[in-house]
Structure 1
Amino acid sequence: MRLEEFEELLERRGADPAAWPWGRRRAARQLLGRSAAARKAHDQARTLDSWIGDAVRPVPASAGLKAQLCRIPQNHPRGNDRLTIGLMLKTRPWRGLCYAGLAAAMASLVAGVLVGTMQPPAESGHAQMMDIASLVYGLPPDQGRLQ
């Protein structure tokens, strides 16, 4: 293992050999045994790990804080949380608009399906189709129309 690889290992995994990948532990320990620069980098990583460990160690809560947290439900009791549709519409009128919008969307969907499945009369429908075809394919309007 090269010194650069060892330093990267220390940066990524810390100074504890138990956190190092199994396949690289042996090479890292061999480098520690023969390189003063590796030992210095390892000592610096241990110091950094101890600083980080001290910074993130949780502080126990005091008895007064625990007592205050336990009193919160007593000081702020919850009422009945069940809501009826009428109460929802009274307290949140925008929900009624959502229901109206949903009903309008469903009605337009049904109307679209009905209109799309209706058959026009045979003669006028064919003439309209030929007019559309003439626009799409660039034909003169009278070409291909049934007489």
Structure 2
Amino acid sequence: MIEIERKFLVNSNVFKEKAFKNTRITQGFLNTHKDRTVRVRIKGDFGFITVKGRSSKDGLSRFEWEKEIRVEEAEALLLLCEPTIIDKIRFEVKVGQHIFEVDEFLGDNQGLLVAEVELKTEKETFDKPNWLGEEVTGDIKYYNSLLSKHPYCTWDS
């Protein structure tokens, strides 16, 4: 399956008032090779293992395969992951015909707010809420796999 998404920084907490759902996510990476990543995630009461391929040149699309696993399996696999484990709260916000997933990072990535919107095509248009900031689609430093290696707290301001 090909995933198409755009990614943005978030410039205010207004999205929290509009969110219809929020979920705690803990995730780690078994592999962070540039051609493929293997992620283990606990999202609420569910576990997942995900394989993602290399991003397209513009960063808009890439292969993604995901399978639900038992939380106990995910917890065991997290112990095998590369450092550092990502901890975040995901807020889901409906804007027009799309749902934005806004991640409020915790721990070593605290202070970082990133919104993603999944699209059906690379040319699809969508409403941009006023709390969206700079677009960072394709900027690999905002990929969770890189945030696990180079957390936000280590960035120069």
Verify same fold: TM over 0.5: no
The structure whose Rg is larger is: 1
TM superposition score normalised by structure 1? 0.20
User: Whose relative contact order is higher, 1 or 2, with alpha carbons under 8 Å and at least 6 apart?
Assistant: 2
In terms of fraction of residues, the more strand-rich structure is 2
TM superposition score normalised by structure 2? 0.19
